[in-house]
Amino acid sequence: SDLQKQEERGELLQPLIFVLLVLCSVLLYFKVSLMDPGFVKPEEEEGENKGQGVVIPQIPGDIKLRRCGYCLVKQSMRAKHCQLCQHCVRRYDHHCPWLTNCVGERNHPLFIVYLSVQLVVLLWGGHVAWSGLYFEQSWEWLQHNIFLLVSFLLILIFTTVVLLLLVSQLYLISCNTTTWEFMSHHRISYLRHSELENPFDQGIILNLWRFFC
């Protein structure tokens, strides 16, 4: 049959890989959006706060960790309260509206993996859509190809957004800083009073190693 001939020629392998990537992207989306991003719990306060001074000796000792005015837990270093999630999140990066969840200490690495897989899917889909287009200056051509053309333009927009987000995230990770710390450096006490511009930076290689490993 035609299906068996296509399988023998390896023509079914690429669509199968593409479907698996799409499925992996969907599973990663639900995993990142539904998991605990690193909520600060009252029973964890004491142990976490003791460890902060050992890991980050550059932070001035006179900076006191404050108690959150919303959920009343003592915030560990680099934690922030998210008013949408109604929780303090450890190593808070940002609240992602696509995920309807915070990106924090626990799900940040998976968020990067999700963006990477999503980018591959979009690039692949964009290539397929572009390869199906043949341009002619006629109304009849536009009527027959409008759906494919709109699909390509939408894929192009989403690809640009995901690519910019992934590049910016990888840059911040390589500097061992978060989106919140980068945007609100002047408002954060442990950064504003630090002798170093970024007291958490330990070099690109070590920063990436500690984040992903």
Q: Identify whether 96 is a catalytic site residue.
A: yes
SS3 label, residue 209: helix
> Of the listed 96, 102, 175, 213, which one is catalytic?
96
Residue-wise pLDDT tens digits, 160-172: 999 999 999 999 9
Give the model confidence (pLDDT) of 145-160 as tens digits.
Answer: 777 788 889 999 999 9
| Full DSSP string of 5-31 | HHHHTTTTHHHHHHHHHHHHHHHHHHH
What is the distance between the alpha carbons of residues 119 and 160, in angstroms, rounded to a whole number? Answer: 9
Q: Which amino acid appears at position 194 of this protein?
A: S
Q: What is the mean pLDDT of residues 93-114?
A: 95
Cβ proximity of 105 and 36 under 8 Å? no
Q: Where are the domains of the chain?
A: 2-36+106-212
| Tokens 């990477």, residue located | 116
